[in-house]
């Protein structure tokens, strides 16, 4: 799952990014409404955490423009404004939920989980491809009747992306953007390293599913007959 955080308080945004990445979400952060609208319009996000008071465009205007453009991405309004009138304005603008600052991290995580369950393309907690199963709740990989293999955060996110899009070829740069974020300085060698580790785990399970390298293009998942 990929999230966008738009908040001009970058200290808060970075803390949220760290917390959410520990929960195996891929997270981008921006500090103004103009960038928030650009990122939301061009990025493939599963959810957006949106502050109201930001330079450029305020959060409610960003939200209105997204909804006017036909976007149905779930949005959580996160702001210091907690009065009833402000909550109503946020929900009327198209927000799915509203959480005033200050907030407890545990509540934020619960609201994010609930937010993502509302997404039209929400999929079950277990993704299956061929003989392979990915438990998205426990971050474990297994075959029917086999032992389970625990995955690291980035390994899980990579495999989730590939398994949700079988046979689609992703370039290393696209995977970096999806998993590590737009502003990441991660090198393509890091993608290769994680792919190598995943291949070893697939082999350890004896799975017929493989991660194929398409020369000059990228990586995709395939299931042998």
pLDDT for residue 37 is more than 80: yes
What pLDDT, on the 0 to 100 scale, is given for residue 216? Answer: 87
Average pLDDT rounded to a whole number, residues 93-120: 83
Q: In CATH, what is the architecture of 2-117?
A: 3-Layer(aba) Sandwich (3.40)
Judge if pTM exceeds 0.75: no
Contacts (Cβ under 8 Å, ≥6 apart) of 127: 133, 134, 136, 160, 163, 164
Tens of pLDDT, residue by residue over 44-62, are 788 999 998 899 898 999 9
What pLDDT, on the 0 to 100 scale, is given for residue 68? Answer: 85
Average pLDDT rounded to a whole number, residues 65-91: 79
Number of other residues whose CB lies within 10 A of the CB of residue 135: 16
Number of other residues whose CB lies within 10 A of the CB of residue 36: 31
Which segment of 35-39, 115-119, 142-146, 160-164 scores lowest on mean pLDDT? 115-119
Nearest 5°: phi and psi at 22? -65, -20
Measured CA to CA, the distance from residue 168 to residue 171 in angstroms comes to: 10
What pLDDT, on the 0 to 100 scale, is given for residue 100? Answer: 83
> 126-223 has which fold?
Arc Repressor Mutant, subunit A (1.10.10)
Which segment of 67-81, 83-97, 162-176, 205-219 scores lowest on mean pLDDT? 83-97
Nearest 5°: phi and psi at 62? -60, -45
Which residue ranges make up each domain of the chain?
2-117, 126-223
pLDDT for residue 34 is more than 90: yes
pLDDT for residue 30 is more than 60: yes
What pLDDT, on the 0 to 100 scale, is given for residue 145? Answer: 78
Residue 169 has which token pair?
Answer: 């070829």
What pLDDT, on the 0 to 100 scale, is given for residue 90? Answer: 76
Measured CA to CA, the distance from residue 98 to residue 140 in angstroms comes to: 32
Stated as kind and residue range, the H or E segment containing 51 is none
């Amino acid at each position: 799952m990929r999230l966008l955080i738009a908040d001009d308080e970058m200290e808060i945004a970075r803390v949220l990014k760290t917390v959410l990445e520990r929960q195996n979400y891929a997270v981008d952060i921006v500090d103004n409404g103009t960038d928030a609208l650009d990122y939301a319009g061009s990025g493939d996000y599963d959810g957006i955490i949106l502050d109201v008071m930001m330079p450029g465009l305020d959060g409610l205007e960003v939200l209105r423009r997204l909804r006017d453009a036909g976007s149905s991405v779930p949005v959580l309004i996160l702001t210091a404004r907690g009065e009833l009138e402000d909550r109503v304005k946020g929900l009327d603008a198209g927000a799915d939920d509203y959480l005033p600052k200050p907030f407890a991290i545990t509540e934020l995580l619960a609201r994010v989980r609930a937010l993502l369950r509302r997404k039209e393309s929400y999929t079950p907690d277990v993704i299956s491809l061929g003989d392979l199963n990915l438990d998205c709740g426990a971050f474990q990989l297994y075959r029917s009747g086999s032992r389970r293999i625990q995955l690291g955060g980035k390994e899980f996110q990579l495999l989730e992306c590939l398994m949700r899009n079988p046979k689609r070829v992703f370039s290393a740069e696209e995977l970096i953007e999806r998993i590590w974020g737009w502003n990441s300085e991660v090198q393509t060698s890091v993608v290769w390293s994680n792919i190598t580790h995943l291949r070893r785990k697939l082999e350890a399970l004896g799975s017929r599913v493989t991660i194929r390298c398409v020369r000059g293009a990228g990586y995709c998942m395939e299931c042998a007959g």
